[in-house]
Every structure is written in structure tokens, then in C-alpha cells.
Chains A and B, each alone.
Chain A
């Protein structure tokens, strides 16, 4: 116990959605474990405002301690509450490093906390490492629309804080034999100047969660019409993929803004990105920089998207999309017969 208290700490802010611990937390634990093992540190996972959750899973996923912290109010957890709880926990535990997900939650809670603590924060990192020379956190992120990468350090102030992009690391798997401690704590965070959650309306469409999708299908101007773009809805559903769109497709009214990928929209990091009729403007490419494998379909062989594609198909995007749908349906039918 006293060993643990003297050990340096790496703190993970669990990804909380709807007062539940989201599985993205396992990726954060993988980052935390990687950094902590290099530093000989312990991993603390903070779960602000979570009343009920599978805390053991967090330990099995790499946490040495789960800090289940909550305030005195029970009426929902808004960003202000989460940030105040995080600040109180950081002040009590004095971690070297604090990591959260680059999501709407992490990207709001972390800057509020960093400003309160007057320390550095790096947004949307794609890689984290420890500099063996000074044990400082190396925070690498795309800059200027993804044209260059920058590695950033927080030199003087503590903790060193960063948000990391979803799918930037593989979760480490669960070890049922891992042992850890679950610590319950309550902090007085006050009730002044806080927002109140009136309602939450989940997205109607399936697979709407683009940021976490393993496959993302997206369509651009080259899909030529709204009807053709809708082929991609069918394709995405057959593939179990998230569905995205370029800014042009959104502006043409083919897709809602919530699907827009790129500089003014969402950032995705799927294992496979299938771009149908997407020209590949730099603003769009900025949103798919960390996709593992890129498939592009475009009738223009000079389209910029082919410069970043692993597999390029020069041809009519709606036509190829229709062929893909046909092939997937045929396979499903075969599967049932066998």
C-alpha cells in the first residue's frame, strides 16, 4: 500500500456516456499501461459520477486502482461536474500524466480541468510515448490539417495532460487474474454555475457512431445523386460499417451534418475506410489520417484520394457500390444455404 502511494501515477479519465463507462476506456487503459510500464508507475482510472459499473473490468483491462469519484448531487453528470471531480481527484492524487479520449466528453472536460490546474494539454494525439532521457510524455498529433505531425511536451507544469484519438491503440484484452483496488470517494464540487441536462435523444440511425466504427463507408460528390448515396446506407449496413459523407455531399443535402468527415466535421480512425466518389480534398483527408487501410472508388484516375489509397478502383462509384451490395447479398444467401 505505501509502495503504491509513493509510486508515480498515470491517470486515465474513463470515457463516460450517459453515466456509463464506455468501452473506449479499455483503449485508454492500454495507453495508460504502456506509459506506466515505461515509468514504473501505477495506473489509476477515474470514473466520475458513475454509480454502477463494471469496475472489475477496468482492473482486468489494466488499472491498478479504480477511483470511483462522485459529487454530492445525484441529478445527472454534466461536463462541469465531471471536470470539477477530475480536478479534485488530480489535486488529491498528484498524477504525472492524465489521459482522456478525444471525444466530445474528453475534449471538453480536459481543457476545463487543465485551465483550472494551469497546466498543458495536447488535443487529439495519435501517439503517446515516454522520452527515456527525461521521463516526459511525448504527445504526437497531426497539425495543419494533417500535413505534418508535431510532438509536444509539457515541460514544467504537472500533470502532463493529453486527449488521444479513439482507435489509436489496440485494447490490451482482459486479464481475469489481474488484481486491483476499487476506491470510492466523494468530493464537494458545489452546484453553482453548472449546466443542467434536460434531455438526451439518441441518434435514430444504426451504426451512427462513426468515431468508433471498424469500417467506415463514405460518399462524396462522385455518388452523383441522393438516391445513389443511399446505396451506401445499404452497403454500410451489410458491412456493419459506420456511414460518413464529404462536405459536398452534406451540402447537397444527401446526408446530415452528423455524418460529415473532415476538418469541419468528424475525425475517424477505422481499420478500413471505403471512400466512394470522394475526390480527396485536403480538408477531407485531415479527417481520415489515421485510417489503417483506405479503399477509394472514383472515376477520375487523377483524383487526389488515390494518393492516400491502398486499394484504388477507377470506375463509376455508384456502379461499384451496387456490385458490392450484390456480392454481399449473394454471400449471405450462400451462407444460409450451407
Chain B
């Protein structure tokens, strides 16, 4: 079985910047890390490999040359190899343009049974790239998965929805996006780091993927950021101190008054 894990490099801190002119995220600012949910996707792939001998786990990441770092981390966590999708033509891609690159790369890797990805990335927070990539590959997608059972021909996935859990079965190949609850990723081992250090990562651009640059990058992206602004947080906070029981009681009364004023207290029976 061959499993592909889609990995994104995201800003390690929440203070990354956006170019105010083009609205494109500036990705080389500050320290970058692997998108936290992608760690769960890698761990899931590696644990499937343990129960399915002969499985190969391939990490794919589209990003700047520095994204090689997250591929190396994926290998330290147990992925067998990694491929970097990097070219200036990819810059400024929105979710569909990104999905075109990922889908083409998955096709080029070939013979893929399962694609795993984090449900969303902490920077863009769209959760769209997984379902879009699956669609371009004509694969069904199961999102928000928190339990996954893999057989040779199909998977059974539990999907967390608003009011409960759906259990779904689908034949392979398929794409699955995972939520945090799926596993508890172990830290990479020393041996993992040593093995990963020796890895080299091929870099694929539009020519390798045989895609027309016109459908990639900013030019190939149907969406445009037209304005960026900082939300106003002009809260006029009213403070209460509650360091005695009476004061706590008064504070509680103020809270309930506020809630009542907003028409939200359940009617008294």
C-alpha cells in the first residue's frame, strides 16, 4: 500500500504578515513549523504502515525551498521519503491552484491507495485543499476524521460532525482529512532524526508535473484578496473584582443581569 501525506509549512507564531498590496501571505517571516494537524496525519500514516507491512509513506509539501524542513520532520516521524513542490510559478496560489499542484504530484507518484491530510492548516484555516485535491483526482473524500481503520481494499472512518459521529466506509483510493483527536503523535526519535538527516528531497516544478503555469499561482487562482484590515477590538471592558465571597456574588449578579439584558436567560418555570 502507498500512502501520501500532505504537509504544510505554517508560521510558528501567530504574528505572520500579509503583503498589504497583493494580500499574499509572506511566508518567510519568522520561524516555520509543520502544521500541527499534519503531525497527526503523518503519525496516522506511520501507524497504518506498522500494521500493514510493505506500506510506503510519502510526504508531499508545496512551499518555498525552506519547506524541506517539514519534509525532513515528517521523515523523522517515520515517513519513508518526501517530495518538495516548489517553484516561483506556485507562489500566490489559492486553494484550488494549490490543489492542482498537489493532485498532479500525487498522480506522478502513482499507485496511491490513501491520501491523508490535516483537516485544516493553522494559517489559512480554510480546510479546502484536501477536498479539492481529492476531487481533482476523482477520489472520494472523508473529512473531520477521528478514527480510521484501514483494510487492503477499503477504509472505515469515523467522522465528527456537529451533532454526533458518522461511520463511513469507502473503497480505496480515497483521501481523508484528520482532526486532532485521531491520535497522539509521539515525538520523533533520535534514530528517526538520524535517518531523516540523510534524506534528500526531489524538488518538482510545473514542468515535472506537466501542468500549464497559467492555472497556477496568483494568475491561476480564481480568488483575489482585495482588502486586508485589522478588526477593531475596541472593547470597553467593565471590570469587577471578586476576591471575597460577597464580591464574587455581586459579580455573578452582574453576569446574570448582562445575560438577561440580552434576552438569553431561559424563562423561569
Q: Does A pair with B?
A: yes
Interface residues in chain A, defined as those with a beta carbon under 8 Å from any beta carbon in chain B: 17-18, 78-80, 83, 103-105, 107-108, 110-112, 114-116, 118-124, 138, 142-157, 193-203, 208-209, 211-212, 214-215, 238-240, 257-258, 260, 263-265, 271-272, 274, 282-283, 286, 289, 292-295, 297, 306-316, 319-320, 323-324, 326-328, 331-332, 334-336
A300 to chain B, nearest CB (A): 12
- A144 near B241 with CB under 8 A, answer no
- Determine if B140 and A80 form an interchain contact, defined as CB atoms under 8 angstroms apart: yes
Evaluate whether A315 and B226 lie within 8 angstroms (CB atoms) in the complex, with A108-B131, A196-B169, A198-B168 already known: no
Assembled-state Cα–Cα distance A215/B251 (Å): 18
Mostly, the B contact residues are mixed
The verdict on B32 contacting chain A, using a C-beta distance below 8 Å, is no
Cα A332 to Cα B256 in complex, Å, equals: 13
Assembly CA distance A149 to B170 (angstroms): 38
- List B195-230 residues whose CB lies under 8 Å from chain A: 221-230
Most buried by A among B131, B225, B229, B268: B131
For chain B, give the interface size range: 35 or more
**Which residues of B lie under 8 Å from residue A17 when comparing CB positions?**
161-163
Q: A143 contacts B138, CB within 8 Å?
A: no
In the complex, chain A residues whose CB is within 8 Å of the CB of B127: 107, 111, 123
Contact present for B163 and A209 (CB under 8 Å): yes
Q: With A149-B229, A311-B238 as given contacts, are A272 and B223 in contact (CB-CB < 8 Å)?
A: no
- Nearest A residue (CB) for B249: A323
Assuming the A-B contacts A138-B226, A198-B167, A289-B231, are A327 and B161 also in contact, with contact meaning beta carbons closer than 8 angstroms in the complex? no
Contacts A79-B141, A111-B95, A193-B171 given: A327-B249 contact, CB under 8 Å? Answer: yes
Interface contacts (Cβ under 8 Å), in number, total: 295
CB neighbors of A among B141-167 (8 A): 141-144, 146, 156, 159-167
Known: A313-B255, A327-B253. A197 touches B166 (CB 8 A): yes
Taking CB atoms, residues of chain B closer than 8 Å to A156 are 222
Instruction: Find chain A residues with CB under 8 A from B122 CB.
Output: 145, 263-264, 283
Which of B18, B127, B162, B230 neighbours the largest number of chain A CB atoms within 10 Å of its CB?
B162
- Write the residues of chain B forming the contact surface with A, with a CB cutoff of 8 angstroms: 11, 14-16, 18, 23, 25, 36-37, 94-96, 99, 122-136, 138-144, 146, 156, 159-171, 174, 179-181, 221-231, 233, 235-243, 245, 247-249, 251-256, 258-259, 262, 264-266, 268-269
Q: Which of B136, B144, B168, B252 contacts A196 (CB 8 A)?
A: B168
B40 to chain A, nearest CB (A): 9
A116-B135, A146-B231, A201-B164 given as contacts; is B96 within 8 A of A155 (CB)? no
Contacting pair A327 B252 (CB below 8 A):
yes
When the two chains form their complex, are residues A203 and B163 in contact, meaning their CB atoms are under 8 A apart?
Answer: yes
CB-based contact B162/A103 at 8 Å: yes
B167 touches A197 (CB 8 A): yes
Choice from A138, A142, A315 contacting B248 with Cβ under 8 Å: A315
Question: Which residues on the B side are within 8 Å of A258 (C-beta)?
Answer: 160, 181
A-B contacts, 16 of them at CB < 8 A, read: A83-B135, A124-B125, A142-B125, A143-B228, A144-B14, A151-B229, A154-B222, A196-B170, A198-B168, A202-B163, A264-B179, A312-B237, A312-B240, A314-B239, A315-B241, A320-B255
Q: Is the CB of B16 within 8 A of A144?
A: yes
Residues of A within 8 A of B132 (CB): 111-112, 114-115
Q: How far is the CA of A166 from the CA of B95 in the complex (A)?
A: 22
- A74 to B65 CA separation, bound complex (whole angstroms): 49
Q: Known contacts being A115-B96, A332-B269, is A316 close to B169, with CB within 8 Å?
A: no
A308 to B252, CA, bound (A): 19
Tell me, in angstroms, the Cα distance from A292 to B261 when the chains sit together. 13
With contact pairs A115-B99, A195-B140, A209-B162 given, residues A323 and B258 touching in the complex (Cβ less than 8 Å) = no
